[in-house]
Amino acid sequence: MSVITYSKAINQALAEEMERDENVILYGQDVAVWGGIFKVTEGLRDRFGPERVFDSPISENVMVGAGVGAAMMGLRPVVELQFADFIFTAGDEVFLKAGMWRFMHGGAYKVPLVIRAPSGGSGFGPEHSACPEAFIMHAPGLLCAVPSTPADAKGLLKEAIRLDNPVVYFEHKLLYAMRGEVPDGEYTTPFGKAVVRREGDALTIVAWQDMLRRTLAAANRLSKDGIEVEVIDPRTLNPFDRETIIESVKKTGACMVVEEAYRTLGVGAEIGALLLEHALPYLDKPFKRLAIPDVPLPTSQHLVNFIVPSEEDIYKAVKELVA
């Protein structure tokens, strides 16, 4: 085991996969010479050359669309959208091309494309701060990864690059500096397998990325009050490990989802529906969502703090729910 940052874990995953497979290419705005605005791709151009790591024009539609075209023809492109919000700039290419082009053409080719999408954070304003993973989870054809630790950031990205289907890989901007243990040597993290980050019997909480970090901090405080919550990190949203959540709820009898995204029809809504369909007899408390009220993210920090679930919000919500 070695301890590295989430950002370094992504960089290592890219380097290892580029080393392993010459068909892996990497491009996006500022990713090559400058190493990316978040410095995640530093050193890769020097190591793999400008044919495989290059700066693209500010042309999100082509960035993603060309990724689909190149993937159809046997390359394994990794495209960095500078901010996850730009998924909507490239909406046709993300949802209709990456998601549907293979289906629409009867499975004539594979589309092994990875779209890296830095999400979340604060102070970046309404068009640079969102966590739009629910949109991706809703769309057919797109796999979706939401790594929460350096180990998963590396393992899920390596797996994403090797998969023959398009993956939207969300890397949370507030986690880039997070440090954590990463296994030495070769490994990948499978899609569709949630992990229980903390065991408990009072309540099941589903959270990922920065909301997971806040949830685990709240869980420590709750533990001191004698409340043990079970915390599930789904790791990927498509495929989505429904079983682990259902099994946990059978044990705890209650569920809360903490989500850094709009409340209405978010991932939490899907989990609520899932429990209604498959676990209603086991629920002895109302299902609960903590999410952003349905407004865009402002720029000023104190306004952001008012609407994004905090450790304190999570702590209080659990206390109310299990009281």
Partner 1 sequence: MNPKLMLDIFKTSLLARRFEARVIQMAMAGELPGSLHAGAGQEVCQIAAITAMNKDDYILYGHRGVAYMIARGTSLTAILADIAGKEGATSRGKGGVMHVVDVPHGILGESGTLGGGFVISVGVGMALKRRYPGRVVTYFFGDGTSNRGTFHESLNWAAVQKLPCIYFCENNGYAVSVPTSTSTAVPDISARAAGYGVPGVVVDGNDAAAVYEVMQKAVERARAGHGPTLIEAKVTRLFGHYIADQQTYRPDAATVIATKDPLPKLQQTLVNAGVLNDTLLAQLEADAQRQIEEAVATVKAAPLLAPETALQDLYA
Residue identified by tokens 């709240």 is: 218
Min dist. Cβ of residue 105 to partner 1 (A): 4
Min dist. Cβ of residue 29 to partner 1 (A): 12
- CB contact at 8 A, 45 and 97: no
Work out whether strand 203-206 and strand 288-292 pair parallel, antiparallel, or are unpaired.
Answer: unpaired
Instruction: Return the number of the residue (47 or 105) whose C-beta is nearest partner 1.
Output: 105
Instruction: Return the number of the residue (105 or 316) whose C-beta is nearest partner 1.
Output: 105
Annotated catalytic residue within 105, 128, 138, 172? 128
Report the run of H or E that residue 69 belongs to, with start and end. helix 60-72
Active-site residue flag, 302: no
Using CA atoms, how far apart are residues 263 and 282, in angstroms rounded to an integer? 24
Instruction: Return the number of the residue (140 or 281) whose C-beta is nearest partner 1.
Output: 140
- CB contact at 8 A, 266 and 172: no
**Joined tokens for residue 152:** 């998963």
Min dist. Cβ of residue 109 to partner 1 (A): 6
Instruction: Return the number of the residue (165 or 215) whose C-beta is nearest partner 1.
Output: 165
DSSP 72-99: HTT-EEEEE-SSGGGGTTTHIIIIIIIT
Min dist. Cβ of residue 139 to partner 1 (A): 11
User: What are the Cα distances from residue 76, in Å, to 69, 95, 110?
Assistant: 10, 18, 10
> What is the contact surface with partner 1 in residues (CB under 8 A)?
23, 25, 51, 56-57, 59, 61-62, 64-75, 77, 92-93, 96-97, 101-112, 140-141, 164-165
Residues annotated as part of the active site: 128
